[in-house]
Amino acid sequence: MGLLFLLASFILCQLVLSSLAICPKDQSLALVEFNKTHVVDKSLASFNCVFYEAQKSYPKTSSWNMNKDCCSWDGIICDEMTGHVIELDLSCSQLVGKIDSNSSLFQLFHLQRLDLSGNNFSNSHISPKFGRFSSLTYLDLSHSSFSGQIPSEISHLSKLQSLGLSGNFPLFLDADLRLAAHDFKLLLQNLTQLKKLDLRYVNISSTVPLNFSSHLTEAGGIFHLSNLQVLDLDGNKELSGNFPKSKWNSSSSLVELDLGEVNFHGYLLPESLGYLTSLQSLVLWFCNLSGPIPTSLWNLTHIEYLILENNHLEGSLPDFKYHIITEIRLGNNQLQGPLPKSIQNLVNLSWLDIPSNHFSGNVDVSFFSNLKKLWFLDLSFNSISLTNEKKAKSTLPESLGHLRLAACEVKELNFLRSAGHLEQLDLSFKKLARIGQIPLSYLYYIDLRSNILQGSLPIPPPYVNDRIPQTNNTTFVPDEENDSTFLSELSWKVVLMGYAEDLEYRIIMRRRKKQRGQMHYRRRRNNGI
């Protein structure tokens, strides 16, 4: 009986396998034709993936072979019963070329998921034909060098749960994608199933100012999308408005809220932000917000990333109640008072960035000793005195990679001895006479502008002996014994002339956002968005 059962099971399996449909030939040909209109260029197409995306960049289409069923090709998933191609994932595939309305891509009528992010489509306009994929639940065209107006036909995709149309980060150029206010409103009215909406660096503009209270909080507005988990409108400088005063439908589901550079002209309202009970990431930088930080933010038990820098926030910093937070960025505001003692308990904190405020008082180095994951610390341009009363014991965390103490009062720097992973150090505008020994293993950038240092620099400057710089009452004599060895083993620079470092800082900020994006990407994949 056992043998007969195994034989029957084998025959049944074979019948099931033989009944599964294979990829229709017309769809195989459409895929091949699409591939022929693009080339693989690792140097050009992989940049956006390195800078933005969480996936590995590699040419998926290189393995496509017409001698095999297209359902087995990399990046393709077919319906098991019909064989139709229902998923096409060519994200970060190093593709370069145009996509126009005649593309064979639009012959794949049964697509449910389409991901073309992280490629270079050579300033192609997004074709209105994308709106014909009526079964799509997932569409991502982000960071792929599309340009021009986003067509209103995208709003026809009523089954969409995830929509990504982000432009390229305008490091040197303005945003290259545009979305008319009317078409934006159509998206919000029609795509009611959205869980994720990503429109970073899309120029959402109109002759009539788009206002959150009049367009985005009413029926059909962003905050009334009841399934919304991720909203990213970062970089939309033409978009303006204010927060809704009442609870919105998406408040219980929203996990990530990034409205950086959206022009709000108003206060952070505690009654609105306090409703976001599931929120893990809040990004409101360069938003023109004013007033105190609402204490209700500290009631959000899941918050991990709090980014409110470059606003007009004032008042003191409330005590942190929960230890899950990993990143705090409050620089360039008008916050004042002492640092809350509760910061010492944030054991998961990796990034504390609070420069150019009015924080004051003595802060002992031991204040940071429990923050074993701290990687970035910026206390610059505050009225803070960094002390070290427990000189024999107190040091900064070994994990520290970036330390900025510009214009802070610091009398000695022996607490740096344990910071063995230090990459960047800013000690400018301090009038220091000596700085002691600095860990060299990873250091590549040090800013010593506007000091009165004289004598031998404890790290040799990257200049030959006949080009020793003298600037701003600062004189250095190189350590001749160590120059050659040091320069052969380490690439770094000493900032003496006061030249701009804004570009480097922005790159650091974007890399950090990429790291956050990687974590969010994995989380969204696990949640099916």
Per-residue pLDDT for the chain (529 aa), expressed as one digit of tens each? 566 656 555 555 544 444 456 899 999 999 999 999 999 987 765 566 765 555 678 899 998 988 899 999 999 999 999 999 999 999 999 999 999 999 999 999 999 999 999 898 999 999 999 999 999 999 999 988 899 999 999 999 999 999 999 987 654 444 489 998 888 888 888 999 999 999 988 888 654 344 444 444 454 467 778 899 999 998 888 887 667 666 777 777 899 999 898 887 667 776 677 788 899 999 999 988 888 988 888 878 899 999 999 999 999 998 888 889 999 999 999 999 999 999 999 999 999 999 999 999 999 999 999 999 999 999 999 999 998 886 566 788 999 999 999 999 887 788 887 888 888 888 888 776 666 667 667 777 788 777 776 655 555 444 333 333 333 344 343 333 333 333 333 334 454 434 444 545 555 655 566 566 666 656 666 666 7
Question: E strands within 68-182?
Answer: 76-78, 85-89, 95-96, 113-115, 138-140, 148-149, 162-164, 177-180
Strand-pair category, 470-471 with 474-475: antiparallel
Question: E strands within 266-423?
Answer: 266-267, 281-283, 289-292, 305-307, 312-315, 327-329, 334-337, 351-353, 358-364, 376-378, 383-387, 402-404, 409-410
**pLDDT per residue as tens digits for the range 186-211:** 888 899 999 999 998 888 865 434 44
Which amino acid would we find at residue 88?
Answer: L
Q: How many residues does the chain have?
A: 529
Are the C-beta atoms of residues 330 and 297 closer than 8 Å to each other?
A: no
Question: How far is residue 73's CA from residue 67's CA, in Å, rounded to a whole number?
Answer: 11
- Contacts (Cβ under 8 Å, ≥6 apart) of 383: 358, 359, 360, 361
What CA dihedral angle connects 518, 423, 328 and 384, to 10 degrees? 180
Question: How far is residue 218's CA from residue 211's CA, in Å, rounded to a whole number?
Answer: 11
Phi, psi of 64 (to 5 degrees): -65, 135
Question: How far is residue 213's CA from residue 198's CA, in Å, rounded to a whole number?
Answer: 20
Q: For 331-342, b where at least 16 C-beta lie within 10 A, e where not — what string?
A: bbbebeeebeee
Question: How far is residue 59's CA from residue 43's CA, in Å, rounded to a whole number?
Answer: 12
Residue 141's CB is within 10 A of a number of other CB atoms, namely 24
Give the model's pLDDT for residue 203. Answer: 87
Angle at the Cα of 527 (from 227 to 91), degrees rounded to 5?
Answer: 105
Structure tokens at 39: 């080339």
* DSSP structure string for 317-346: PPPP--S---EEE--SSEEEEPPPGGGGG-
Are the C-beta atoms of residues 205 and 181 closer than 8 Å to each other?
A: yes
Question: How far is residue 408's CA from residue 100's CA, in Å, rounded to a whole number?
Answer: 56
Give the model's pLDDT for residue 256. Answer: 93
Give the model's pLDDT for residue 411. Answer: 77
Are the C-beta atoms of residues 117 and 142 closer than 8 Å to each other?
A: yes
Give the model's pLDDT for residue 516. Answer: 64
Are the C-beta atoms of residues 345 and 325 closer than 8 Å to each other?
A: no
Question: How far is residue 165's CA from residue 168's CA, in Å, rounded to a whole number?
Answer: 10
Q: What is the mean pLDDT of the chain?
A: 79
Are the C-beta atoms of residues 420 and 396 closer than 8 Å to each other?
A: no
> Which helix (H) or strand (E) element contains residue 15?
helix 2-19
Structure tokens at 164: 């990504």
What CA dihedral angle connects 28, 29, 30 and 36, to 10 degrees? 110
Question: How far is residue 273's CA from residue 229's CA, in Å, rounded to a whole number?
Answer: 15
pTM score of the predicted model:
0.84
